[in-house]
Structure 1
Amino acid sequence: MNVQLSPLFRKKWFILDQSVTGLGMNPMQSFAIDDTLCRRVSNEPDWGIARTWVHSKTVVLGIQDSRLPYIDDGISFLKRSGYDVIVRNSGGLAVVLDEQVLNISLLFQDGKEMSIDRGYELMVELVRLLLGSLGKLVMDGEVKESYCPGRYDLSIKGKKFAGISQRRLRGGVAVQIYLAVSGSGSDRARLVKHFYDSAVQGAPTKYEYPQIIPAKMASLDELSQEYAGGQVDIDLSIQGIIHSLLLKLSSLSDQLDTFALSEEDWESYEENLARMVKRNEKIVMV
């Protein structure tokens, strides 16, 4: 196959790896960085930027979650369980981040060919490429009984291991995915289920929050053991998947390089971070 025919092909792919440094960052910083990169990539139709990020134990709430009737009780439960809490600026509902969850952001110019569905489809294609033989089992489609269910949930044999969100800002698109690489998917799902129980307590809500069945979620490591006997052709670790990402992006570009924020980018980042902090200061200070 001519890689230039792949919809993922870019003349220049850049990588910004924050899989290690992210462990010392507040996840609000990650969303501020993606907003910054949206602006940076907006004038570069031939660019793609891939950012990898990992954070310590945090539950990232959606804006709708923050309006649940007993949200203070829900946040208190999460904090007692050892998790930090933030509210993100992109779509979707509550998700769990920890040291065994890899997040990937793909950033492109928001051009006429980059429809919302197109953005999601590019991420789905990339994940299938990254997972080697296991990627052939990946299905996209809503797993309703998962946390943060959506049209582009990724699952194997009905068990969700990843979810995709998207943010469009200042002429750029950030397509973001969380990949549960290892650990217990059902334990993460059980945590979010208990959060909703605490934050709703049977009261009426303005939206239909997920009715989570923990067994409907799993990690890639769990799925490889269950459906491939642990015999997979890639290293199913955070760094193993990042290595696979580097190889794929190199083959999908004329040039692969690391990305460094300019002084102007850092100024934009500080503004974006200030907005994230302001969004969160009244909601999660329980």
Structure 2
Amino acid sequence: MKSTNEILKPTQFRFINQSEYGPQFSAMQSFATDDALAISVGEHKSPPTARLWVHHNTIVMGIADAKLPYFNEGVAHLNDQGYRVVVRNSGGLAVVLDEGVMNISLIFPDAKSLDIHDGYEAMVEFTKQLFKEEGKEIEAYEITGSYCPGTYDLSIDGKKFAGISQRRVKNGTAVQIYLCVNGSGSERAKLIRDFYEIGLKGEETRFTYPTIKPNTMASLSELFGKELHMEDVRNRILYLLHGLSGSVMNDPLSDEEMASFDVRYDQMVARNKKALESE
């Protein structure tokens, strides 16, 4: 096991900002990018990397969501609300991504010596440092009633604003977090609540899907009582990366990383076509 301090303080961070790519930037491209970077970082061809990404009106599903008895009807409802659906390649359940949700991927090497909890704890500490000046206590424990609940839900005063997932590719680890920066946390939760109600229609299933209670979720703007903007969060992240490592590079994806991206993206497209083929 490694200490959080050791993981978060490499000699150099690489910073990739894809938070302003616009509505045509697909979540499938994001997950393929993280896979490509995890391979590169795992092979020590890139330093540990922080990547920012934002997707417009997207619902990212887990594999278990696709097994809902009325999954197609649930997806059709989301489509009618103006959302596109993507089935991701990491664990967890449905989450909402939109212009007010900042996603951060921290990508570390040496996955074989990195305990899975080390990666989660590193992201928890990173987030606490990111918003330390706000003077609010950020806690990590499962928020019952939230969407995609898990041990590493991040909350303030019992209201969840972030969730963390983790994916390992070869010897690289991508720890991913979504931060509800602004907008209404409860409105996002209502969207997922309605999806599950339509997808289940009261039927009993082997897998237990969450019962969503919208008032368990909020955005950071709501919790801090002031409007936070994406640019502000991006600047905080860049400032923190400099403070942790002392050196930040901004290299785009290399030719080798782009080749890995192409392979992983094709896999994501095929996976989603299969999951949504009856649409």
Instruction: Name the TM-score, length of structure 2 as normaliser.
Output: 0.94
Within the candidate set 245, 262, 278, 2:270 is matched to 278
Q: Does 1:208 align with 2:208?
A: yes
Q: Is the 8 A contact 1:129 1:135 kept in 2?
A: no
| 1:78-227 aligned within 5 A | 78-134=78-134, 136-225=136-225
Map Cα deviations across residues 152-187 of structure 1 (whole Å, 9 max, x no partner): 000000000000000001110000000000000000
Q: Which amino acid aligns with 1:194?
A: D
Q: Deviations over 1:198-224 (max 9, x none)?
A: 111111212110111000000000001
User: Which residue of 2 is the match for residue 260 of structure 1?
Assistant: 252
Q: Deviation digits for residues 32-90 of structure 1, max 9, x if unmatched?
A: 00000010001229931000000110100000000111001110010011100010001
Q: CA deviation at 1:23?
A: 3.3
Question: Alpha-carbon deviation of 1:136?
Answer: 4.1
Count of aligned pairs: 275
Counterpart CA distance in 2 for 1:5 and 1:164 is 19
Return closer, same or farther for 1:135/1:30 CA change in 2, 3 Å cut-off. Answer: farther
Q: Deviations for 1:235-261, whole angstroms, at most 9, x for unmatched residues?
A: 821111110111111111142111311
Q: Distance in 2 between matches of 1:270 and 1:59?
A: 23
Shift of 1:5: 5.3
Instruction: Mark the CA change 1:45 to 1:36 in structure 2 (over 3 Å): closer, same or farther.
Output: closer
SS in 2 for 1:17: strand
Q: Check whether the contact 1:10–1:46 (CA below 8 A) recurs between aligned residues.
A: no
C-alpha displacement of 1:144: 1.5
Query: Is the 2:111–2:168 contact (alpha carbons within 8 Å) kept by the matching residues of 1?
Result: no
- C-alpha separation in 1, matches of 2:67 and 2:110: 30
1:244 aligned partner = 236
Task: Give the whole-Å Cα distance in 2 for the aligned partners of 1:22 and 1:263.
Answer: 23
The structural deviation recorded for 1:129 is 0.9
Residue identity matched to 2:99: E
8 Å CA contact retained: 2:130, 2:236: yes
Mark the CA change 1:46 to 1:40 in structure 2 (over 3 Å): closer, same or farther.
closer
Residues 29 and 111 of structure 1: is their aligned pair in 2 closer, same or farther, counting only changes over 3 Å? closer
User: Following the alignment from structure 2 to structure 1, what is the Cα–Cα distance between the partners of residues 102 and 58?
Assistant: 13
Counterparts of 2:174 and 2:44, CA distance in 1:
14
Equivalent residues of 2:64, 2:93 under 8 A apart: yes
Deviation at 1:112, TM superposition (A): 4.8
User: Match for 1:247: what amino acid?
Assistant: Y
Root mean square deviation, CA, Å:
1.7
- Evaluate the alpha carbon distance shift between residue 157 and residue 179 of structure 1 in structure 2; reply closer, same or farther with a 3 A threshold: same
**Using the alignment, how far apart are the partners of 1:45 and 1:152 within structure 2?**
30
Output the amino acid matched with 1:276: M
Q: Percent identity?
A: 46
SS of 2:143's partner is: coil
Equivalents in 2 of 1:222, 1:108: separation in Å?
32
**CA shift digits 1:124-148 (9 cap, x unpaired):** 0111111133364111000021000
Indicate the residue corresponding to 2:18 in structure 1. 18
User: What letter is aligned with 1:76?
Assistant: A
Matched-pair contact (CA < 8 Å) for 2:182–2:220: yes
In 1, Cα distance between equivalents of 2:151 and 2:176: 14
Give me the whole-angstrom Cα distance separating, in 2, the residues matched to 1:98 and 1:140. Answer: 23
